Amino acid sequence: MPPEPSGEEDLAGCFIHAWSATIYLYTIVRGFLGITPHASESVTICPYLVRDWNISVKRLAVGESLLSFELRWDGTDIVATVRNEGNVIDVDFGIVVPAIADCLSATIKRRQS
């Protein structure tokens, strides 16, 4: 049974609410964004991309590295940008598009910074 409210604000929040939010965050990170870490040296990113939705993830911790990526639509093209801060990691990157999509090819450009 939860404790009775004391009238004082608890800055730590309620652990029950934090715990119950985990499944929603898991669904977004693993399901919608397709992020699957593999220990500290690699990660798979394969989001479900809906037409006209842009996706941006910043400073995702993978081992000792911070990974940021962005997917955005540019007309009929999908532009992906991946940045890594820290140790070198392997990134398996893909995009899941609906079967009725008219995007049938991909071009990958690599730029060192």
Quote the pLDDT of residue 2.
58
How do the pLDDT tens digits run along the chain, 113 residues long? Answer: 556 666 566 566 565 666 677 777 777 788 888 888 887 889 999 888 887 788 899 998 888 899 999 988 888 788 888 899 999 999 888 888 766 566 556 666 666 55
pLDDT at residue 11, rounded to an integer: 60
How does 27-46 read in b/e, with b if 16+ C-beta sit within 10 Å? eeeeeebbbebeeeeebebe
Residue ranges and CATH numbers for the domains of the chain are 15-93 (2.60.420)
What pLDDT is stored for residue 52 in this prediction?
77
Does an H or E element contain 24, and which? helix 15-26
